Amino acid sequence: MLSVEHTVIEKIELETVKGEDVLVASVRPHWSRRGRCGRCGRRAAGYDTGGGPRRWRGMDAGTTRVYLQAPAPRVRCAEHGVTVAAVPWARHGSRFTTAFEDTCAWLACHTALSTLTVLLRVTWRSVAAIVTRVVAERAASVDRLAGLRRIGIDEISYRRGYRYLLCVVDHDTGRLVWAAKGRNADTLRRFFDLLGVQRAAGLTHVSADGAEWIHQVVAERAPQAVLCLDSFHVVAWATQAVDQVRRGMWNTLRHAGHADQAATIKHTRWALLTNHAHQTSDQRTTIAEIMVTNKPLYRAYLLKEQLRETFHVKGEAGRSLLAGWLSWARHSRLPQFVDLAATIKKYLPLIHNTLDHGLTNARSEATNTHLRLLTRRAYGYHSAEALIAMANLTRGGLCPPLPGRS
């Protein structure tokens, strides 16, 4: 009932703590689990009796809190020095039982933290510490970087003030395999240092956005990998160019005193930016009106849609369509798309890789969306480490099963 193993239960008493009845189980480790280092688990010589008995919070019995109480002697480990002896019912440094922490971590992965804290009667700070311990233990038991072949690299802002996380996702499993604070070449090199030369040589494909520092590090550490430029970011460049054309026309008309025409263009933004397949009937009517009344803006819209279609077609047909698009954009008499054509020309080999291999950063973007949801659900994180631990729990495959479930 206490969800413990290798433990001798000596007695169970009902106590009153701050006006609340609690169950206190006096326990001790089985003889085979005594005298072990709390960090490495190896047998060690006894040092002293420690600071007296300690209590660990266990799973509630109905609505009654349950605590395990036991002595906490210290041992002298050859590797870690003097440390508290390991106990079979809890992780080192924790005041909660393993079953309680696994339940807490599972709930953190599947429900809102506000609900979790009420259900288990713990603070948010305790939840963050529990998630960190659970993730660290489970990550140490598996090699998350083994067998990587196709990866996606992307960054996400997790807090105001230009604070970013760099995330690496496995395209084959969809799992987050590594995350760290920062977004620069040194941060990415830390990932490749951890990956190692041999495993980096096994990478076949890498997807990323247009950040030059990502391309540089990938060329240094995994030159054999095919680097693909994410199609979502390329189409986003075209979307921004369309909006710049629209805003430029709006400003020109407004300053020329044509307020009515300027107002009409101002309200066409979402019709122009929405994918043709996802447009409402009203938005399609707006595009039809632009086609008649504003040829340059309609041309910008068509350029954006044809670039999107290029990535939809893929392969040799996509290359041909892209070549035609580049010629059209350069002669479009729209400065924004002339500049965009120059940018795409610069990244043309990487875009050709995307068209040939069909690899995008879709899984990375899905991970980023999930991280934004985690941040919003927790009303923000004070540290990057707390968010990384939660991300590894929910997207890295490190969520523990519920205790007692097969």
Tokens 């609340």 appear where? 20
- pLDDT above 90 covers a percentage of the chain that reads 75
Predicted structure pTM score: 0.84
φ, ψ (nearest 5 deg) of residue 48: -160, -175
Show Cβ contacts of residue 110 under 8 Å, excluding neighbours closer than 6 positions.
Answer: none
Query: Over pLDDT 70: what percentage of the chain?
Result: 99
Fold for the domain defined by 96-229+360-406 = Nucleotidyltransferase; domain 5 (3.30.420)
Give 28-81 pLDDT, tens digit per residue.
Answer: 999 999 999 999 999 999 999 988 899 999 999 989 999 999 999 999 999 999
Dihedral, CA of residue 195, residue 201, residue 203 and residue 208, to nearest 10:
70
Report pLDDT for 406.
Answer: 63
Q: At what angle do helices 335-346 and 231-255 cross, to 10 degrees?
A: 160
Select from 323, 319, 303 the least CA-distant residue to 311: 319
pLDDT at 134: 96
Please state, in angstroms and rounded to a whole number, the distance separating the CA atoms of residues 231 and 362: 9
Of the candidates 140, 120, 155, which has an alpha carbon nearest to the alpha carbon of residue 230? Answer: 155
As a whole number, mean pLDDT of residues 219-234 equals: 95
